[in-house]
Amino acid sequence: MKKKPNARPRKAEDDRELIAKCIEYAQALAAFHASFFADPDGNSVNAEKTAHGYLRKAERALEAISTMPARTPEGLEAKARLLMTFCRDQEDFAPSETDRILLKQFVLEVRALLLPMMEERWREKARKAA
């Protein structure tokens, strides 16, 4: 008797890893900020001991995200929510090279996802007009 595989095969359009990395980034960045908020020392001496580890984890997640194209609306939404954190958390947002790559990639992914939908609408409009 053959054994059944316990895991379902992954589809190419599966964005679970991308979504997980977006969540990892958000959690690490939140932990970084929370450590300074919780530190009663006015100079954040206590927080600095561990906070930068969270920041490095967030940076590694962001680097990974910048190499992962979104293939589903959920993946695109995860990236959109991540980009909103840039605007919310950084008043003077000066994007790093990784940030710029992610922003450009996001714009291209949005266009790639929306273009077939728009083309279908244009074709439908042309059929109705004919």
In whole angstroms, give the CA distance from residue 110 to residue 101.
14
Specify if 9 maps to a domain. no
Q: Is residue 11 part of a domain?
A: no
Q: Chain-wide mean pLDDT for the chain?
A: 82
Distance CA 3, CA 11 (A): 21
Tell me the C-alpha distance between 83 and 16, whole Å: 18
Structural domain range at position 86: 16-129
Task: State pLDDT tens for residues 46-74.
Answer: 888 888 999 999 999 999 999 999 888 88
What pTM value is reported for the model? 0.68
Domain assignment present for 100: yes
Rg (CA), the chain: 20
Residue at 73 is within a domain: yes
Burial per residue of 24-38, b for 16 or more beta-carbon CB atoms within 10 angstroms, e otherwise: bbbebbebbeebeee
Task: Establish if 49 belongs to a structural domain.
Answer: yes
Question: Taking Cα atoms as reference points, which of 84, 86, 102 lies closest to residue 94?
Answer: 86
The whole-angstrom separation of Cα 9 and Cα 108 is 28
| Contact call for residues 68 and 17 (beta carbons, < 8 A) | yes
Our count of domains for the chain comes to 1
Q: Is residue 54 part of a domain?
A: yes
The percent of residues in the chain predicted with pLDDT above 70, rounded, is: 83
Q: Give the three-state DSSP class for 94.
A: coil
Number of C-beta neighbours around residue 111 at 10 A = 10
- Where does the pLDDT of residue 87 fall: very low under 50, low under 70, confident under 90, or very high at 90 and above? low
For residue 96, is it within any domain?
yes
121 confidence band (pLDDT: 50, 70, 90) = confident
Asked whether residue 99 is assigned to any structural domain, the reply reads yes
